Structure 1
Amino acid sequence: MRGADILVEMLIGYGVEVVFGVPGDTNVPFYEALQEREGEIRHVMARDERSAGYMADAYGRFTSKPGVFECPSGAGAMYSLPPVAESNSSSVPVILLTIDIPLPGEGRGVLTELDCARLFEPITKMSVQVKSAEKLPEIIRRAFRVACSGKPGAVHLQIPEDMLLAEVDPGRISLHVESDCKEFPAYPTLPAPGKLEALLSQMVSSKRPLIVSGGGVNRSCAGPEITELAERLNIPVCTTMTGQGTMPDDHRLAVGVIGDNGFHPHANWALEHADFVLFVGSRMGSVVTIGWTFPKITLNKRVAQIDIDPEIMANNYENVLSIPGDARLVLQCLIDMAPVQADGTGTQAWVDELNGLREEFWRNSEALLNSEAAPLRPERAVRCFNEALEAYGKPAHIYSDAGTPTPHMTRFLKLRDRRTRFAIPRAFGGLGSALPATVGAWFADKERRPIGMFGDGSFGMAVGELETLVRLRVPAILLLFNNGTFGWIKGLHRLNGHNQCFGVDFLPPRGQAIAEAFDVKAWTAKNSAELDAALAEAFAHTEGPCLIDIHVESIADRVPPVYSWLVKRGKDPLSTKAEEVRYF
């Protein structure tokens, strides 16, 4: 067997259905081997290595399998850095195969020579160079084991081209796979005896308990378990940004999103006034705690954590309890231990108080959500999307860039269908991910409509992938928030008193014309009526991708719902009033 045949055989053995990538000089042997097994594994060509990485990232987020992508040597590897770093820090299992120059060329000035193993080492769980074709099966097994066990993350394999061309005696190797490592979580763990009893005692005895569901809950698909535990013990649930969608937004115990960006004031208020808080799958980082300045009443000695990674336990607060383990497994054990008919009367006053604040917030938000001001308000755009998604009545995979759509989508998006998943890459906040991510989301589950949300700055970084969407006939709905600026950065300029902003404005793209040039069905929406009509047609359009060019007010024109920004403008972020806040 050639090394390339071994590599493809192992990928198929691990259940890899699709490999995203970009062709190059060095990966020709890999492509030949893939072509020979075309009916068993598919290769999806992207137009840029970074895009291929975001496709794999979305695939990993929306399935329990690692996303796999490949790139050629040199610049291909360097372009792959941003998505790998994002996946690893976001605990998304991804495996990158860098097909590199032949080993004999090392140190001899060969074109595209680069020490890729060292390059990726700081941003992956494992980064190794393959130096023997006979070791390929062993290294592939280790790659899947590392990506899927413990805290999931990214793995990088640097595979010299001559390793793929080398002939290997099948009798000298084993092509077995570890079935436990085909999916995440591989080898899920539980805490030591007594820990869960102590945690349950804390939850039951508290008068104002709160559960905070983080991205780890979505990663382990533990939303139903969070919901069942909350219902049994009558405990309200908040989410972080990456935990959004843990439970239906119209559930009586679903309070809202905490933190800095796109927060709900009543959710942050709940975090401050709870007497016991259980964080599940959250590292309690700077966004969740607003730079470790909130809540004002310290969380010390009233917080517990459930997380698969013991290294992040009690890093920022003094925990009452630290529970290492897989979120879904631990929550199921807590459900089994909790009384079947738990008496929730002790917490009902607390639940009623939070629901009262929640109702007040949404009631006060009606004016913004129904505004017909020009340019189109982001809040109104979200209302249009909520209504269109509900009318569609089918599940979706929604992937939003970290820029313009984030604060208003996080605050006002309503997810009522548990099958619908919402993801935002929050580790590094890089732009240019959402458009290609719809490809990965589609291959993750073709029963769920892929939807990408991004600003015009992000659009300019990934526009070439429109061709990929058309070629693959992916029925993605692309929402372009168009206002001719890097709005988040421009808003920061103005927040710091610099109204004469520098280096942030550009010509707004003609989104509809650009999309149509790629044979993408497209519309332009400048008001709510046009957006409603375009969304209705977009959800009905299933013959390939479509794009709506939404001309929307910039978050640089009016302060978005960002806690720290509102504080800087002298406003009370915990107020449930829907006050418009200007920079000047």
Structure 2
Amino acid sequence: MKLNGSEIIVECLKEQGVDTVFGYPGGAILNVYDALYKHSDEILHILTSHEQGAAHAADGYARATGKVGVCLATSGPGATNLVTGIATAYMDSIPVVAITANVTVSLLGKDSFQEIDITGVTMPITKHNFIVKDVTKLADVIRRAFTIAMEGRPGPVLVDVTKDVTADICDYFKVIPEAILRQTDTIKADDIDIAVKLINESKRPFIFVGGGAIISEASDELREFAKKIDSPVTDSLMGKGAFDGSDPLYTGMLGMHGTKASNFGVSECDLLITIGARFSDRVTGNVKKFASKAKILQIDVDAAEIDKNIKTYASVIGDAKEILKILNAKTTQTDRAEWTSHISEYKDKFPLTYNQKELTGPYIIEKIYEVTNGDAIITTDVGQHQMWAAQFYKFKKPRTFLTSGGLGTMGYGLGACIGAKVGCKDKLVINIAGDGCFRMNMNELITATRYNIPIIQVVFNNHVLGMVRQWQDLFYNKRYSSTVLDDQVDFVKLAEAMGAKAYRVTKKEELEPVIREAIRLNIPVLIDCIIDREEKVFPMVAPGAAISEAFNKEDLDKKNKEI
């Protein structure tokens, strides 16, 4: 049948099973919005308050559901407003398709009104991008975009469509998408044999899990693997939930704000089995001292990650789920009680602690975990609250912790929370934000109230940029340059003005009843939690130090007394 370009875009979205898109209209993309209007009973469009919110919502939808998230924006500033969200998805390997419209072909390159070379802008932060200037190529490009976004190591893809293409007419034929197969052709028998030998011979193995284990849906195989080789398990920020955070073999997060049990254990192990992690600087600390007693076995779908940051002893390239299936079949059931007991002693000796007398970030996270029984989807912004959420909420399942790991995007959480809730309507979804982060994209609370999306927004309000101030306190001799937020902003009144129910909590005993009431109401709710600005995230590894040099508050107090 003959359709115009905008109708072809909508039909291609339907082919891919897209049920929701997030976006903001404008002149160049009006034809697409007109086509969406005619299909509003098939594809839900969520109008966000800002295009960045749309990108983060698509990202959160993708992380929570495992499907491709879709966002739309018009040309010029509409397209550039997507950039931070696209970069966030790129750094964390999240499948998002961003569709933008541009000026007509005849106006390209002439500094036309609201013209921008968005494919040039986003080339370094997309897995691939396209500009479509011929309507006959449009359908194939949209289909390729979805395939590229999902296959192998996922990532965002941008499709820019000129306005005349959205109006031009050509033949459209429906195509059923082919299943995207897991990457197995790169799994070599010799690599598997070496891996099996290393695992069976190891006396002190440690498993380090990243976001790739979640992407490949390898949680069941990972659990079997850890039990079979009797190895402790640590994770990165992106890997949370891949392995049950309440399991006795779990030791907590690794790296700058990881537990001492994980940091010390990895520093002592003889084999570090890394699954779907890229050895970020926040994980490794001083790379020359990282896991210095261990042989590194890296399992990853992306060959470019091997030896990029840390030199490996051996590697297996391919889908983590498929590789773990093979390793589970070939490795020997082993009892390493002496090693796991040693790590358990570290867990007992160096537990995560915090001030129990006052309302604090860790207390809020623990109370949320208790009330939700660990079954909520938690989204976060970036900073102290993010680290406390990673430390004190025991994530039991994958796709329940959504956060900006690689880019560290302040303002990410609320949009992602909305996207996650739209994608997982039966799940309780809570966003944790600091007051600094919340200010950046709090306008998306309007999006939640417009559509009555029942999310809970918790603000850790310490009237400072907490993590930056923590660094200033520890490493800049308490010179608090531009990190104090002492002003008259009232988040409760702001939330109420945007149509949400809002509460302020100042004492520990006030918190639980408010959380339960927020859950019961099942509407957009904000909880403004007033906490002390002096609270810090511990343990911590100083910049440039080895992870074995992690210190906590007691270590710091002892050091200061000695000085």
Give the alignment's TM-score, normalised by structure 1. 0.90
Match of 1:246 in 2: 242
After TM superposition, give the deviation of residue 552 of structure 1 in Å: 1.3
1:322 to 315, 320, 335: 315
After TM superposition, give the deviation of residue 491 of structure 1 in Å: 2.2
**Measured at CA, do residues 132 and 389 of structure 1 come closer, stay the same or move farther in structure 2, by a change above 3 Å?**
same
Give the alignment's TM-score, normalised by structure 2. 0.93
Match of 1:283 in 2: 278
The answer to whether the Cα contact below 8 Å between 2:270 and 2:293 also exists between their aligned partners in 1 is no
The answer to whether the Cα contact below 8 Å between 2:129 and 2:158 also exists between their aligned partners in 1 is yes
Letter in 2 for 1:372: K
**Measured at CA, do residues 144 and 242 of structure 1 come closer, stay the same or move farther in structure 2, by a change above 3 Å?**
same
Q: The residue matched to 1:490 in structure 2 has which SS? A: helix
1:30 to 7, 29, 32: 32
- The correspondence of residues 504-543 of structure 1 with structure 2, limited to 5 A, is 504-507=483-486, 509-542=489-522
In 1, Cα distance between the equivalents of 2:482 and 2:491?
Answer: 22
After TM superposition, give the deviation of residue 445 of structure 1 in Å: 1.5
In 2, Cα distance between the equivalents of 1:404 and 1:28?
Answer: 41
After TM superposition, give the deviation of residue 293 of structure 1 in Å: 4.8
Q: The residue matched to 2:59 in structure 1 has which SS? A: helix
The answer to whether the Cα contact below 8 Å between 1:189 and 1:326 also exists between their aligned partners in 2 is no
Q: The residue matched to 2:298 in structure 1 has which SS? A: strand
Match of 1:421 in 2: 400
Match of 1:125 in 2: 127
Q: The residue matched to 1:145 in structure 2 has which SS? A: helix
Asked if residue 225 in structure 1 is aligned to residue 221 in structure 2, the reply is yes
Letter in 2 for 1:452: N
The answer to whether the Cα contact below 8 Å between 2:86 and 2:125 also exists between their aligned partners in 1 is yes
In 2, Cα distance between the equivalents of 1:303 and 1:531?
Answer: 44
Match of 1:357 in 2: 346
Letter in 1 for 2:539: P
**Measured at CA, do residues 580 and 224 of structure 1 come closer, stay the same or move farther in structure 2, by a change above 3 Å?**
farther
**Measured at CA, do residues 166 and 582 of structure 1 come closer, stay the same or move farther in structure 2, by a change above 3 Å?**
farther
Q: The residue matched to 2:283 in structure 1 has which SS? A: coil
**Measured at CA, do residues 141 and 108 of structure 1 come closer, stay the same or move farther in structure 2, by a change above 3 Å?**
same
Letter in 1 for 2:348: E
Where structure 1 has 5 or more consecutive residues not aligned to the other structure, the ranges are none
Match of 2:115 in 1: 113
Q: Which is worse superposed, 478-487 or 313-322?
A: 313-322
Q: The residue matched to 1:502 in structure 2 has which SS? A: coil
In 1, Cα distance between the equivalents of 2:512 and 2:325?
Answer: 41
In 1, Cα distance between the equivalents of 2:545 and 2:560?
Answer: 12
After TM superposition, give the deviation of residue 358 of structure 1 in Å: 1.0
Letter in 2 for 1:113: E
| Alignment: residue pair count | 558
In 1, Cα distance between the equivalents of 2:75 and 2:544?
Answer: 46
The answer to whether the Cα contact below 8 Å between 2:539 and 2:552 also exists between their aligned partners in 1 is no
After TM superposition, give the deviation of residue 419 of structure 1 in Å: 6.2
Match of 1:178 in 2: 177
Q: The residue matched to 2:129 in structure 1 has which SS? A: strand
Asked if residue 336 in structure 1 is aligned to residue 325 in structure 2, the reply is no
The answer to whether the Cα contact below 8 Å between 1:73 and 1:101 also exists between their aligned partners in 2 is yes
Match of 1:563 in 2: 541
Letter in 2 for 1:64: G
Where structure 2 has 5 or more consecutive residues not aligned to the other structure, the ranges are none
In 2, Cα distance between the equivalents of 1:110 and 1:99?
Answer: 14
Match of 2:138 in 1: 136
After TM superposition, give the deviation of residue 9 of structure 1 in Å: 0.6
Match of 2:371 in 1: 388
1:481 to 460, 471, 476: 460
**Measured at CA, do residues 317 and 497 of structure 1 come closer, stay the same or move farther in structure 2, by a change above 3 Å?**
closer
Q: The residue matched to 1:519 in structure 2 has which SS? A: coil
After TM superposition, give the deviation of residue 304 of structure 1 in Å: 0.6
Q: The residue matched to 1:408 in structure 2 has which SS? A: helix
In 2, Cα distance between the equivalents of 1:420 and 1:86?
Answer: 16
**Measured at CA, do residues 293 and 412 of structure 1 come closer, stay the same or move farther in structure 2, by a change above 3 Å?**
farther
2:482 to 490, 503, 512: 503
Q: Which is worse superposed, 503-512 or 152-161?
A: 503-512
Match of 1:264 in 2: 259
After TM superposition, give the deviation of residue 383 of structure 1 in Å: 2.5
Q: Which is worse superposed, 502-511 or 353-362?
A: 502-511
**Measured at CA, do residues 576 and 455 of structure 1 come closer, stay the same or move farther in structure 2, by a change above 3 Å?**
closer
Match of 2:473 in 1: 494
Asked if residue 433 in structure 1 is aligned to residue 412 in structure 2, the reply is yes
Match of 1:96 in 2: 98
In 2, Cα distance between the equivalents of 1:324 and 1:65?
Answer: 23
Structural RMSD (CA): 2.4
Q: The residue matched to 2:394 in structure 1 has which SS? A: coil
Give the fraction of aligned pairs with identical amino acids, expressed as a percent: 27
Q: The residue matched to 1:212 in structure 2 has which SS? A: strand
**Measured at CA, do residues 580 and 521 of structure 1 come closer, stay the same or move farther in structure 2, by a change above 3 Å?**
farther
**Measured at CA, do residues 559 and 455 of structure 1 come closer, stay the same or move farther in structure 2, by a change above 3 Å?**
closer
In 2, Cα distance between the equivalents of 1:461 and 1:583?
Answer: 36
The answer to whether the Cα contact below 8 Å between 2:540 and 2:551 also exists between their aligned partners in 1 is no
Q: Deviations over 1:382-432 (max 9, x none)?
A: 222222222xx7x321111122312222222223x4366112211111111
Q: The residue matched to 1:372 in structure 2 has which SS? A: coil
After TM superposition, give the deviation of residue 565 of structure 1 in Å: 6.3
- The correspondence of residues 387-406 of structure 1 with structure 2, limited to 5 A, is 387-390=370-373, 395-406=375-386
Asked if residue 214 in structure 1 is aligned to residue 210 in structure 2, the reply is yes
In 2, Cα distance between the equivalents of 1:134 and 1:348?
Answer: 64
Match of 2:357 in 1: 372
